[in-house]
Structure 1
């Protein structure tokens, strides 16, 4: 049992079987959550003494997955690595950027990259000549240094993962065009994106020693990728047979999903939201609101659209799925009906399921007319219009964002404080706190030196400084430095949540609150785009650190030099951003009427609801400002979100200390509050289907059919995500680009594709 050295508190190894919330192991194991039945392990290490100092702190799931042997001489960064990385980054960046503008979407699957880059890499190893190419004073390289290696394979996946994330910084030029008809110069948009990404990369140095080298921080998604890499790279005949079977199933499921997605996305949209309550309720208003998954609360609403499900039913631990579904039930099936039918919290004057902004009488808030040509607040117009208001769902989202932000820090202090403090002390005592086998293997590879991290940070910071000083993003200079400081402060607590659960939480609206108070001084521009730029700089740090650290954990498990890992990640970001930008311009030119809500998308997908939420926050916190907001009684209760976020983790921690075997520490309040803060918007049809399928995959199959799960779980999720992504690209690049539309018929009703009439 792995414990905190200082306190004896269990570090939760939050893998699937342990998160079942119904542990059936012996009393000795009931407290811990780090067991996996050894007899079902894919890889056995019979010659290892697990009680020795090098191995005893390594969790069982890690022992079952990773290798404890390494060959430092095999190739890493090669011509093949760079070429295949560029290819997969370009594909992934297209899918990642398209997802920004949709209500739901499956992310580009790194498992697709893992499965398909391996045969391509081996093919290049067979056909490329072994020529040596000179780079002058920089040296030379070989086109074909020998067999395609496991480490090359892993680095290609890392590059694709870094470049396919969609780059959050493109929100700024997209919002500028959609809501303010401002065309940001391409150079400003690109360098703003690169700089914010690489500042996040440099901040990874702050948390490496804690999260990478401590074997208790698992990064569940990393372990899943490692499992697949090791499965594919075995040398025995059994491994070859296993890999062939997996690849065959992968392509069958991928093609099947590609073909199927034409139905919910184009031909038969009704399959995306099956609403039996609507069908039996006919035109009853209450029945249709309750049963509808598009614009309603989606009770007993099922979906056959993979974008509403995604492979998170496999990749997220089951305890996380339970927390997420619980949060959904509370916010969507309980709070929304209370507001909607009880006419509470401003409903129906302010539409409860809207993330837009309203005047006091419920009309759309005219934020454009309140800005002068210099980006200042037109006080005369504001005095006429008055305060900005929002619907109930968006208002309690603010409350829970505040709670989740504070909860992350309190949770870190209570559950991981001793570990963090031990690493901090080690910098002064020069005593290595991590002496496990994996960490000892990595001592053969030089770390990225501090001066290189500093150089990445300085280059990025200076680039952003120039953009801010030029006035391109409406952001006061002093707020830029505060954004970087707050981004750095959030890096560790947010990364801890991700490291133990695989749940990626947003920083939330706390940054907007700080920004609003900072610019509430004479001479500062309250333009909402300045607030969004601040949010991106302070929040993008954490998002990019998440990507960097997760892939560095894979490098740790697969024994790859840290410098090679960082190179592949930077390569992915450099290539990916221009593709992101090009796809953004493509979406804006072809879907603008949907994005501006001039025309309703019948499937409720091309809504850019995230961008709308960010603009709403900009209007609230920048244009109007928190000083004015919190003078109104409707906003005052939001302050209690901070108290809730501080107290809830303490309650869970005390319960965990008192009732060790109850596994209270699985109920992570940060994840719970962050999920309750998620704006559900137009689509509420996915969570019920997700929890049913998640229970099958990550509770029943993982717990009782582990061999089947370990063989097919990741393959299935990767294949279905990939089939969806390829279908989305195909429809967008062919049918949508050519203006082809599906004729209206029974399964594609122009009033309601799910046949929920009279909402």
Structure 2
């Protein structure tokens, strides 16, 4: 069989295409979707890359940061980035000059040739890195909102950059074990491999005919534009469509009905509630595996529709004493809200004398159960993987370490210069030094040795958990464990707890992010040094605009975000910072010994680890006795994750999400698979993107994002009813469920 010059260049002159096929990956899925050809002459770091990656990184980081403070958790679709950057990149290739420029012996061109697959994939990698809300933003926003301490811009940017980049240095050491072996698949990358290769290597994709003869791109933009226009209805004209709590209308002034059936922020658990707001449903319901979604929704229904009514109606743990069923705020045992600023020392540590002089502090029952469910999920995740995947992981791990046969894709990558280990080492040392500086200088309460402990936890867990994620596609996080350990090591220090959690959790998370992208680079044959540059660039750009967006939002929406005033529309609640703050109070200021000790009414939550660990063992035993039943399909970690889905009082979209899931994954996927494969991913991307742009447009132009004077409220009417004072009297909320002035007919 004759092969082209490009294939020879990629595979190596001494290896034929037939031989390469014989050497192909041991993993069937990789063999099916990852090509064995490559063109080393393609340039990835082009002028087009810098322009497009920067533009979309800025846009994505702003949108994601915007949604962190909102009730609706929308996403910036990477599919939109892939499609839009493809169109813009090919346009730039047509219009940019091809002249070569030489500076200091280095030659470059603004237009080195056609827009190629490598620069396209590299743009997506940089943008996906930037399009997040940096975890350090939680620390900064919580201190600003609840402690009235704003770290200056320099300190904030160092904190953001170091927490996002520290794990990158770790990746250099671990890439040998978690990237190069063929057994380390990093499954989520295979979707991207198919997407990029389809766009660049087949005419079928470019000329694909959709409904009405539309092109693929036209189909995307039509449905994206349609969703953009539609979302003005629930997000601006008629917010009641977000919280369509129809059962609550039968007895709107009944306290128990409000607690059980209202889904408005700060209200109840929204049993049988509907929503017509797409960001609460989300495109993932159209393609996420059916078993996963059923487990998640099953957990939600058990926790919020079964367990909660029993607790509330029987007033277990004095549930009604604290007013709102779902809230991350803390209370004294007499039901009065706990204000931590009254018992803080000037350095923001807890004053034990003042605290002990007051009424003990507790939390609402449902919020306490969130920690129980989280512990079940963590213990269940590890146990499930060991029981059902342990033998495979161990066998694969030994093979990847001892194997002398290199993966064919890694062999092909030897055509490119590797990133020297020294680069990673220097980068890591610089980030670690800056991390130690920022925790010591900017009153973060965490001593330098505490930072080293947090980082050490990340080092200890990154390798085994990374292997689990790479091989099985799932793995536990470290956010809860880091908080718990810090609570015992540094009791009474709220900011230290948040900072410890941020560094310990993100060191592992960001390391896995880079390792996953490095594997995508191997599949796409992107030069390693270009990969490293793109990843760091996206992280820095994203962090800068995360911070700018955070400052603008806090300055314009502070009363809604810190809980001083309720947003009449119910869209600005700051629920995510409030949850982070609540956890910091529990584990940091007060400490786990106070909140979950022997004298606490919630001392049972630690049993969650054992419960989560035992259930998969029972399943594994049953699988041996009844091998025809797929016991491994049920994952207690996923189920418990659903049970803790809404810790801040946002139980919205359950029924509608479940309906979409059953239609797309339960019916279309099984009975109309060709239609499903043709339309699902592009439709999901279009709907998510359109909804995200509506929210951003409203914030910037109609909700005071540019300037408070530009804020405009749509006139009051039935589905957006409010008084001149800004509340929703005679009903408490825009969902028409709840009495004004807390004047209930029953249930108090």
Report the TM-score when normalising by structure 1.
Answer: 0.86
Q: Is the 8 A contact 1:59 1:216 kept in 2?
A: no
* 1:327-367 deviation per Cα after TM superposition (whole angstroms, max 9, x unaligned): 11111111211111111133112343111111111111121
Q: CA deviation at 1:214?
A: 5.8
Q: CA deviation at 1:284?
A: 4.4
2:229 maps to which residue? 259
Deviates more, 1:240-249 or 1:597-606: 240-249
Q: CA deviation at 1:470?
A: 2.0
Q: CA deviation at 1:605?
A: 2.8
2:518 maps to which residue? 552
Taking structure 1 as reference, are residues 237 and 667 closer, same or farther at Cα in structure 2, changes over 3 Å only? closer
Deviates more, 1:706-715 or 1:471-480: 471-480
Deviates more, 1:733-742 or 1:415-424: 415-424
Taking structure 1 as reference, are residues 285 and 624 closer, same or farther at Cα in structure 2, changes over 3 Å only? closer
Query: Partners in 1 of 2:662 and 2:654 — Cα distance?
Result: 12
Matches within 5 A, 1:68-83: 68-83=36-51
1:15 maps to which residue? none
Deviates more, 1:207-216 or 1:300-309: 207-216
Q: CA deviation at 1:483?
A: 0.7
Query: Partners in 1 of 2:202 and 2:465 — Cα distance?
Result: 39
Q: Is the 8 A contact 1:411 1:649 kept in 2?
A: yes
Unaligned runs of 5+ in 1: 1-46, 521-525
Deviates more, 1:332-341 or 1:399-408: 399-408
2:3 maps to which residue? none
Query: Partners in 2 of 1:594 and 1:254 — Cα distance?
Result: 30
Indicate yes or no: 2:305 matched with 1:333.
yes
Matches within 5 A, 1:285-364: 285-294=255-264, 295-350=267-322, 351-364=324-337
Matches within 5 A, 1:96-107: 96-107=64-75
Taking structure 1 as reference, are residues 70 and 571 closer, same or farther at Cα in structure 2, changes over 3 Å only? same
Taking structure 1 as reference, are residues 579 and 112 closer, same or farther at Cα in structure 2, changes over 3 Å only? same
Which of 734, 742, 754 aligns to 2:714? It is 742
Which of 430, 436, 441 aligns to 1:459? It is 430
Query: Partners in 1 of 2:652 and 2:304 — Cα distance?
Result: 11
* 1:597-631 deviation per Cα after TM superposition (whole angstroms, max 9, x unaligned): 12112343322222112212222222222233313
Query: Partners in 2 of 1:127 and 1:662 — Cα distance?
Result: 60
Q: Is the 8 A contact 1:297 1:333 kept in 2?
A: yes
Q: Is the 8 A contact 1:194 1:577 kept in 2?
A: yes
Deviates more, 1:363-372 or 1:743-752: 743-752
Query: Partners in 2 of 1:535 and 1:734 — Cα distance?
Result: 36
1:40 maps to which residue? none
Which of 591, 596, 599 aligns to 1:625? It is 591
Matches within 5 A, 1:376-391: 376-391=349-364
Q: CA deviation at 1:519?
A: 1.5
Taking structure 1 as reference, are residues 218 and 656 closer, same or farther at Cα in structure 2, changes over 3 Å only? farther
Indicate yes or no: 2:135 matched with 1:168.
yes
SS at match of 2:108: strand
Taking structure 1 as reference, are residues 421 and 283 closer, same or farther at Cα in structure 2, changes over 3 Å only? same
Q: CA deviation at 1:211?
A: 5.0
Deviates more, 1:727-736 or 1:648-657: 648-657
Taking structure 1 as reference, are residues 346 and 283 closer, same or farther at Cα in structure 2, changes over 3 Å only? closer
* 1:608-666 deviation per Cα after TM superposition (whole angstroms, max 9, x unaligned): 22211221222222222223331323132122122123223323333444444433223
Query: Partners in 2 of 1:104 and 1:227 — Cα distance?
Result: 30
Indicate yes or no: 2:485 matched with 1:514.
yes
Deviates more, 1:450-459 or 1:502-511: 502-511
Matches within 5 A, 1:36-185: 54-55=23-24, 57-60=26-29, 62-136=30-104, 139-185=106-152
Q: CA deviation at 1:220?
A: 5.2
1:646 maps to which residue? 613
2:218 maps to which residue? 248
Taking structure 1 as reference, are residues 214 and 131 closer, same or farther at Cα in structure 2, changes over 3 Å only? same
Taking structure 1 as reference, are residues 655 and 478 closer, same or farther at Cα in structure 2, changes over 3 Å only? farther
Q: CA deviation at 1:182?
A: 0.5
Indicate yes or no: 2:246 matched with 1:276.
yes
Q: Is the 8 A contact 2:173 2:421 kept in 1?
A: no
Indicate yes or no: 2:455 matched with 1:484.
yes
Q: Is the 8 A contact 1:387 1:624 kept in 2?
A: no
Q: Is the 8 A contact 1:656 1:664 kept in 2?
A: yes
SS at match of 2:317: coil
Indicate yes or no: 2:664 matched with 1:683.
no
Indicate yes or no: 2:575 matched with 1:602.
no
2:198 maps to which residue? 231
Query: Partners in 2 of 1:130 and 1:424 — Cα distance?
Result: 48
Q: Is the 8 A contact 1:57 1:215 kept in 2?
A: yes
Q: Is the 8 A contact 1:316 1:501 kept in 2?
A: no
* 1:80-134 deviation per Cα after TM superposition (whole angstroms, max 9, x unaligned): 1111100000000100111111222211111110000011111111121123344
1:537 maps to which residue? 503
* 1:235-287 deviation per Cα after TM superposition (whole angstroms, max 9, x unaligned): 43664235962211110111111111111111011111222312345544444
Query: Partners in 1 of 2:470 and 2:144 — Cα distance?
Result: 36
SS at match of 1:233: helix
Query: Partners in 2 of 1:570 and 1:562 — Cα distance?
Result: 12
* 1:295-329 deviation per Cα after TM superposition (whole angstroms, max 9, x unaligned): 22222222110110111113422221112111111
1:42 maps to which residue? none
* 1:155-184 deviation per Cα after TM superposition (whole angstroms, max 9, x unaligned): 111111001112111112111110011010
Report the TM-score when normalising by structure 2.
Answer: 0.88
Deviates more, 1:218-227 or 1:734-743: 218-227
SS at match of 1:141: strand
Deviates more, 1:443-452 or 1:599-608: 443-452
Q: Is the 8 A contact 2:268 2:325 kept in 1?
A: no
Q: Is the 8 A contact 2:304 2:643 kept in 1?
A: no
SS at match of 1:377: coil
Q: Is the 8 A contact 1:423 1:433 kept in 2?
A: no
